[in-house]
Every structure is written in structure tokens, then in C-alpha cells.
Structure 1
């Protein structure tokens, strides 16, 4: 059986995404999808991070970041780096960095 094809990208979410449990919901959703990586608050009021996973769950996570987020968040826009192919996971799970 062939190893799964893995992909990675960086993201940054703009809008009202701090103080609204955005990172907690992001962590829960990513782990539910099996997407690995991390997210953190930035000094400029955004949430940024990295995603790693198979293409379908990765794309589902990207769509969630653009359209859903946490219930109280107001997402203005999300910037993603180009999705690149990776050989192996760099992270064991999705986590919040402080």
C-alpha cells in the first residue's frame, strides 16, 4: 500500500479572530479531520499557523478557516501560502502555540 500523499501550507486569518476561542475551535476541527500543524495569535490581531495532511482534509480545513471559524469570530480574509507536497509529517497533531 502506498504511503498517503501529504501536503502542507501556511495560513493567516484576518478579522475578529482573537478573544473568540478561534484557536481552540481551529485545534478541535483540525484534529477531528486528522490535519496536523499549529496556530497562534500574532501581535497584529491575526491568527497564523501551518497545516499538514492529505489533500482532501487539508482542503476541508482551509475552507473551514475561510468560512466558519469559531462561533463568535468574524473572518475578513484568509491568506494561504501555495500548497506544497511533503514527504513526512513534521507534527504529531494540531496544537496551539503561545
Structure 2
């Protein structure tokens, strides 16, 4: 799937994933899934043991990715998914990448 083009509605969401999501390849799987769905943004581990994900795409793409974040990786035990929609203006991402731990 391709990233949202300029004519589509573009949304940005910041997602905090809590549970057993570090040390199991969750970020790498997240990158693969985001690229498959056509999402741009980034993913990183946080020092508190959670994973933080910035997602940008169409509402449908973001809904699909949030569903995957909560249930898509069998090795992960997600306890909580906290989703915040960011209001424009926001930077436009051109790819999805893994960032260093914050």
C-alpha cells in the first residue's frame, strides 16, 4: 500500500504501547507492518519499558495500524494502547523508521 497522497485526509497519531513489548522484535515488526500498510512516522523504545509510535496516514491506515499495534504480534503482551490524535500543523514524514530509545 502506498503512503497517503496530498489529496487524501492525512492524520497524525502518537501511540504509547504498554506491556511486554521490548526485547521481542516488536519495533522491527512495527516497521515492517507500517511499511506494508503505507504509514509514515517512527517507532522507539522508551526507558519506562513502553514503545512509542508516531503514525501518519489516512484514517483507515491508522485504524489498521492501531489494531495491529494492540494485537498483531503474537510475542507481545499489550496491556494498554494510549492513542492521541495530533492536530495540524504537523511535520510530514516521508518514511517509517526506528529511532533510538528515549
Measure, in 2, the Cα distance between the counterparts of 1:16 and 1:31.
23
Stretches of 4+ aligned residues off by more than 3 angstroms: 86-89
* 1:94 pairs with 2:96: yes
Measure, in 2, the Cα distance between the counterparts of 1:65 and 1:5.
21
Task: List alignment gaps of at least 5 residues for structure 1.
Answer: none
How is 1:1-98 mapped onto 2 (pairs within 5 angstroms)? 3-68=7-72, 70-82=73-85, 84=87, 86=88, 90-98=92-100
Measure, in 2, the Cα distance between the counterparts of 1:55 and 1:73.
24
Cα RMSD for the two superposed structures = 1.8
| 1:55 positional shift | 1.1
Structure 2 length normalisation: TM-score?
0.84
Give the secondary structure class of the aligned counterpart of 1:81: strand
Measure, in 2, the Cα distance between the counterparts of 1:44 and 1:13.
11
Structure 1 length normalisation: TM-score?
0.88
Task: List alignment gaps of at least 5 residues for structure 2.
Answer: 1-5
Q: What is the aligned residue count? A: 95
